[in-house]
Amino acid sequence: MDICAVNVLTYEEFLEIFGNVVEKCPLIPAAIWTHRPFSSLAEIEAHISDFIDSLSQSGKEGILRCHPDLAGRDHLSGTLTRDSQEEQREAGMTTLEHAELSRLTRLNSAYKERFGFPFVICARMNSKAAIMRQLVERLENSRPTETKRAIEEVKKICHLRIRYIVLSDVPNKL
């Protein structure tokens, strides 16, 4: 799928394909569809990034709250989005040993208790060990610092989801 093909999509088609590039926030791709025609994938990403940056602190926290816990309830109940499922599987989050899962669950709870949103990290860019280490480290951040840090991860996830969508169709076109 090259950018010309993206530019002729109706908003319904665009949402079917790009609706979850920010987890459970179809509002965002639905909004930036207004700005087509896009000159490149990078422009789509830039519009999404601008949209996120334009939100208030609570709006940014809202985006984070739409994300699932790593190896959490949605994984156990089979209600993860397909994107999250694949990302968590690749990072080894779906095959944790009992002790690892216990530790992650405990750290996740502490994180949510402290910040009021779940720990978000681009799983595809991190090993299991790196995820655990960053969770411990980021627990020490202030709330504004951590919101900013987590939103950076949202943008990395979005970047890879967009690449994955487009490149899995027609490689090397964009």
Judged by the rule CB under 8 A, the positions of this chain that interact with a copy of itself are 10-12, 15, 24-35, 51, 54-59, 61-63, 65-66, 73, 112, 116-117
Structure token pair of residue 113: 């208790």
Decide whether 54 or 172 has the Cβ nearer to a copy of itself. 54
CB-CB contact of 18 with 162 (8 Å): yes
Of 35, 47, 67, 75, the active-site residue reads 67
The packing angle between helices 143-167 and 41-54, to 10°, is: 160
Q: Tell me how far, at minimum, the Cβ of 55 lies from a copy of itself, in Å.
A: 8
Decide whether 13 or 90 has the Cβ nearer to a copy of itself. 13
CB-CB contact of 117 with 150 (8 Å): yes
The packing angle between helices 128-138 and 98-115, to 10°, is: 30
Decide whether 3 or 25 has the Cβ nearer to a copy of itself. 25
3-state secondary structure at position 94: coil
- Secondary structure percentages of the chain, helix, strand, coil, to 5: 65, 0, 35
Q: Tell me how far, at minimum, the Cβ of 63 lies from a copy of itself, in Å.
A: 6
Q: Tell me how far, at minimum, the Cβ of 170 lies from a copy of itself, in Å.
A: 26
CB-CB contact of 35 with 47 (8 Å): yes
Interatomic CA distance for residues 84 and 123, integer angstroms: 9
Q: Tell me how far, at minimum, the Cβ of 50 lies from a copy of itself, in Å.
A: 10
Interatomic CA distance for residues 136 and 134, integer angstroms: 5
Active site residue 67: yes
Decide whether 37 or 59 has the Cβ nearer to a copy of itself. 59
Catalytic residues: 67
